[in-house]
Every structure is written in structure tokens, then in C-alpha cells.
Amino acid sequence: MSLVCSSPKFEVSNDQTSYFNMMPGSYMATPASDKPHSPGYFDIKSKPSPSQTPYYDVTKPASPAQTPFFDCESMQTPFFEQLQQMHGIRHTNTNNENSNNNQQQFQQFQFNLNIKNGINGNPGITISQLPFTPKIPSIQRRSSTKPSSLPSTNKGKPYSMPGLSPYNSATTTFEEYSLDNVANLINQKLSNSSTPNLVLLLDLRSFSMYTANHIKTSLNICVPSTLLKRCSFSADKITDTLVSDGDKDVFKDWPKYENIILYDSETDTLSETCPLFHLCKKFRSPVCKAKIGYLKGGFTAFHKKYEGLCEKTLNDTPSSSGTFPRRRSLMNRKPGPFTCPTPIIEISGVNPFFTNIRQNIELSSGITETIPIRLPEGAVFDNSQIPAFMRDIIGDNGKMKLAESFHEIERIEQRRLQSLMLHNSNQVTPDCPFSISAGMEKGTKNRYNNIWPYDHARVKIGECKEGDCDYVNASFVQAEKCNKRYIATQGPLPATYEDFWKVIWEQNSRVIVMLTKEEEAGRIQCHRYWSECTINPCRFGPIVLQFISESSNGSMNKNNTIVTRKFRLSHTNHPEIPAREITQLHFLGWPDFGIPDSPNHILNLIDIANFTQSQAVQSSSHTVGPMVVHCSAGCGRTGAFCTIDSTLSLLNEIREQGLDVSQDLVQKVVLKFREQRLSMVQTLRQYVFCYEAVLWKLIGAA
């Protein structure tokens, strides 16, 4: 049997007993002119369209189980029976009552059968001797996928049919701006101040590349590609990623521009996997009538041809014209194991990484969750027991108020970090009073690459050996009008054991609160900075540490367990100073980024820590230093512990005066702590937990 179809056309050998069911797909098929009688072979050509489509060759036996355009599957029902059941046969029969209906059907499908041996048993049917030519509905275009059964020759690019050229043309088309076109637009904008909305140029390269050289009037958009792929990350949210207020004012009017042009280093063609493509899609909006496109060849090609239309922000050498000098790292210490060093900034004002400011990503979708305050089971209390600001958040709208309050805290810190990185990342200026230069230059002493101490609040080591520095990742934190002061620090690294014990000695601290397990989920949270002294006294430089005892209030597997360890600390350079007793309270029930099972557990820890601190004060003839609190990074759990303790202390002082408190003290304390150390109280869950612990203490549930 020979079967020929006009659209699509394919051939089946005469001895083929089954037939092929061809499903609609993206391309029309035409017979192969060079293989007119090849059994089981068919060729696919692209349907004429404005976009260029590749030519495909597919043999029938090699067809995979999942094909993107045509599903050809063998059917067990004979071909003629299927035709009779589905479409009917064109014939002449005077007794057929449905001849009119058949005529309407064959206006769409006209079948002409060429049967060599005829049909037996039905003399009333007359068969036309013309070739069989069915017509099927027009084939619709649909997206292509690469079959999983094929080897990957061009990774990351979809395929239209097996084993052939990649199909990577973008379904959404954008303008392609030549170098000359962009140069003309820039010249018009610079020469004519009456056309401010003529063109919006967006530079997608890194901040350091943009700072070194960029096209005039362009803005730097430094957003991770993972955010650009999110539908929820709209063009308006890009405004929050800009640092300069002037850039924000320019960008917020993006719907009013006539041309929006994006460029990177050297993109020549726009593909669906390119960050330029994802950002272009953000500007497709009913309110935006601009032409949206990309600069062909990118900045590299533009700079070669139009260097005069490019400008530099910073010079590589010091000058007196206002540029910041190059600075060298002061580090001589080798990085310790398991460290995440921060890249060293040699040119002031360069933003190291967009993702180093965690709020840039975490706040990109706005408020995504709300968490209500847990109340003690069966607790009955009077409103007079709690301050006014606590009453507001217990109600139905309380969880949204808490979410909005924490969101504002995060926004304030985000703007602060963006500002200090833009204006001055290694000097303190009146416009930007915060600096993190020490933490960034001495990155090998940091456990994480996005938690740095502010210079104005960081703890400095007094006695430094030759060639070393005074840096340690620790900060003094204290709430306003509160008499309690803490040292918030990261979990010590092997390379910083000596620094940690020097801080304990020099600050005359007697209590250490450890809020993390040594290891969680296969990841080291804090190294055992006391392990070597459990058998024999060990030395950390001039510091001698001797283990005394260890005890716990329960099983090591319980979440409310507190392990109490006592040490004796002395200094070889100061033998006249008696050895000091140091108490470490190791709480095991606080997971990373989480909270304890019950507020009672942390309230019990706070009571023990304060009692131990007061005992040390009474037994010492000298002023006892602040309590040292650390988790892994020294901000999330550490911040929550200090916030709960400080808020309760402030409330006790206020209630002794018989006053009510309408101002939210928890928010006030967290805001003050965030000015002294990054990310104090790091998550919304931890923030709500602070309110829970304060509430449980006030109503007597603890």
C-alpha cells in the first residue's frame, strides 16, 4: 500500500500492515525530493514563518518515546477500518440516507483511495482511481523541548527534534540596537535637555566593572539572574536594588521613556537564557510604550568605537580630586579551616557583591508570611499585666503588625548597607557614619562573608603580637537607657581561638552564653574552642586555659538542656593578676534560623546567665565586663537572646515607676542593636519569639 498525504506528506512501505497516527505539532511536513521511495522515511521542513527555523531529518525507527512535535505511534487496528470509523469513505450508493452528511464531512477531508486489488463483497461501492490525498487541519506551533534520551551536545539549549541543531530563538522579540543608533540617542539626550525621556540605558555588568567604565547616562542594575527569572520580581522592584537616590529618581519613570536599552559586556545575540532577555521582559507592560531592546556587541564593542561616550567613575591611582585611594590588605594570618572569607576591597566605594546584602534577595517579594504570637495553653491574664504595645499585637491583626514592623527593620538595614557601600566602604564620613572596612579587609577571620562588625562598635584586641592586627568579629551592643551591655560575637574559628580568649581576658568577662550546637545538618556551626584544655591546660598565645568541670541539667538529647562548663583563665604576661573563673552556658535547644520549643527554655537560660553574672560581680574586686553571647554568626539567635533580656530589664525599670509603655520596646531595642551589629534578630520567626518570651514572662507563664 502506498499512502501519500499532502500536508504533512510522508510515505509508508507497501508491506506495512499498520498505520501511523500523526499528532499536530509545530512544523509542516513535505516529501523528501531526494528520497521519494525510501520506506519508512519522512522529512520535516519548517513551515514558512518570519523567523528562521532549522531543517530536520528524522528516521522513523529512531523516534523517541517523547517527541516535541509529532507523535507517530503504531496502531493495531487496520488502516481501512479506522478510515471507515473515523471519516467514512467517498463512494456512490443510492440507498445511503447520510449522503448529504458525508458530503459535508469531505469538504474538510477528501479521501481518494487507490486500491490495487479492489474491495470484495460490496458491489454498490465505486472506488475512485485517484491517489489518496487526505487533508488535515492546519498545524499549530508549540514550544520545543529536548528529548531526554539524546546526548547533550549543546547544554542548556532546547532542541526541536532529536539529534539535530538547537532551536534557541526567543519567542518574544526585542529591538536590536546597533552601536551607531545608541550613540546617536546619547548625543541627542546630552545635547538637548528637553528630551530627558528619550533613552534609558541600563548596564547589567557588575558594580566594579560599571564603576571602572560605563556608557554615559547609564544606570547599573546588578540583580542575580535567579531574581530576574521570578515573575513576582517586577520592574518596579528593581528600584529597591538601586543605591543612589538620583538613580532611583531616574529609574522610577521607566514607563515614560521612548527607548529602554540594556547592555552587558559583549552580548551579540539575545537568547532566552540570557539575563538581558529576562530583564527585557520585565518592561513589557501596558503602561510602557517604549521600544525595548539590547545593545548589539555590548559595552566592549561600544567602547572601542565610541570611547568618548564612555566615562570612568574612579581612578586606579590616588589623587586629590576626590577619588578614594587604593588600600592594601593588612592581613598576615593564614585563613583558618571552614572560613568564608570576604573579598578584599582595594578600591573604596566598590560594592563587593549584590548578594552580600541578604535583604536584596530576601525582601524582593515583600511580606510573604505572617506569624502569630503563641499564647500559653489555658493561660488567663488581665490586660493590666502587659504593656500597651503588647496588647495591640495579641489581637487578630497582630501578626500582620509584627510582619510589617520587622519588614521595616529589614528595609532600614538594607538602605544603610547600600549607602555605606556606595559612599565609602572603608572610611567614616559625615554622610555615612557606619563603616565595615575592618571586617571586609580582614575577611579570613570571619566565619561568614556577609556578617561584619561596624567599626564604631567593634571590639578591639589590646595586646597584638608583631605583624598581627586588633580585629575580631565581635561587637559591643547595648539598648538605649538600659544598663545591660553585651559582647555579641561569632562562633570562634580555629584561626581565631587566641583572639576569642584575649577578648575574654581583656574585657574581664566572666560569663559566656553559647546558643548553638557544634554541628547542625552536617555543617559546623561553631568549633570547640575549649576542647584542647579538657585534659591538660592549653595555651592560646599568652593566655592559659584550664578546664575545671562540666555539668548539665538533663540529657544531652533534650532541647532544653543547658551544659555548664567552668574554666580557669590566666595570663602569662601578667602573673600578678590572679586566675579568673569563666563560666560557659551552652544551650542545645535553639536551631539555626529557628526558635526553641518553648519560650520557657530561653527564659530559664536568661535567669541562669543573669544569676551567674551577678555572682561574678559580687565575688570580684574589679569591675566585671559584659556577658559574651555567641551563636554561629553572632546575630540571629544572639540578637534574640539580648533583645529579650534587655526588653525585660527596661520593662522592670518602667513598671517600678508605675508607668505604662505605649512605645514598642522590642522594636526599639532591635533597631538600636542593628545600628551596632548587622542582622541582630535575623528572621521574622525570631522576632516574633522575642514578643512571645516577653509576654510569657509578664503574665507569669514562665
The answer to whether position 46 is within a domain reads yes
The residue among 648, 651, 640 whose CA lies nearest residue 677 is 640
At residue 131, the pLDDT reads: 53
Same structural domain, 233 and 132: no
Same structural domain, 621 and 679: yes
At residue 295, the pLDDT reads: 93
298 or 4: which leads in pLDDT: 298
| CA distances to 35, 68, 82, 125 from 11, in Å | 10, 21, 18, 26
The answer to whether position 603 is within a domain reads yes
Tell me, yes or no, if 631 is annotated catalytic.
yes
Same structural domain, 490 and 574: yes
| pLDDT above 90: residue 506 | yes
The answer to whether position 203 is within a domain reads yes
The residue among 691, 639, 599, 693 whose CA lies nearest residue 403 is 691
Query: The domain that contains 530 carries what CATH number?
Result: 3.90.190.10
Q: Is the dihedral of CA 300, 306, 312, 315 positive or negative?
A: positive
Same structural domain, 222 and 279: yes
Same structural domain, 123 and 59: yes
The answer to whether position 251 is within a domain reads yes
Average pLDDT over residues 72-87: 52
| pLDDT above 50: residue 64 | no
Average pLDDT over residues 114-122: 45
Total number of domains constituting the chain? 3
Same structural domain, 40 and 84: yes
At residue 63, the pLDDT reads: 45
| Domain range enclosing 537 | 473-698
Peptide bond into 8 cis (omega under 30): yes
Same structural domain, 130 and 237: no
Catalytic-labelled residue, pool 533, 631, 635, 690: 631
Is-contact 214 268, C-beta < 8 A?
Answer: no
User: Residue 650 is which amino acid?
Assistant: L
Same structural domain, 74 and 214: no
The answer to whether position 453 is within a domain reads no
User: Residue 168 is which amino acid?
Assistant: N
The model's pLDDT over 555-593, given as tens digits with 9 standing for 90+, comes to 666 778 999 999 999 999 999 999 999 999 999 999 888
When computed from its CA atoms, the radius of gyration of the chain, rounded to whole angstroms, is 37
The answer to whether position 383 is within a domain reads no
The model's pLDDT over 457-490, given as tens digits with 9 standing for 90+, comes to 999 999 887 778 899 999 999 999 999 999 999 9
Same structural domain, 129 and 274: no
Which residue(s) pair with 488 in the sheet?
475, 629
How big is the chain, counted in residues? 702
Same structural domain, 189 and 132: no
Instruction: Give the highest mean pLDDT range of 228-232, 238-242, 584-588.
Output: 584-588
pLDDT over 90, % of the chain: 38
Same structural domain, 116 and 217: no
Domain termination site, one of 283, 311, 339: 311
Q: What is the pTM of this model?
A: 0.57
Q: What is the mean pLDDT of the chain?
A: 75
User: Residue 419 is which amino acid?
Assistant: S
Residue 681: pLDDT band (50, 70, 90) is: very high
169 or 400: which leads in pLDDT: 400
| pLDDT above 70: residue 439 | yes
Query: The domain that contains 187 carries what CATH number?
Result: 3.40.250.10
Alpha-carbon distance of 238 to 242, in angstroms, equals 7
The DSSP code sequence of 145-197 is ---TTS--SSTT--BSSTTS-B----SS--EEE-HHHHHHHHHHHHH-TT-TT
The answer to whether position 442 is within a domain reads no
Same structural domain, 683 and 535: yes
The answer to whether position 623 is within a domain reads yes
Domain termination site, one of 284, 311, 338: 311
The DSSP code sequence of 344-358 is P--BTT----GGGST
Domain termination site, one of 277, 296, 311: 311
At residue 352, the pLDDT reads: 46
Which residue(s) pair with 552 in the sheet?
563
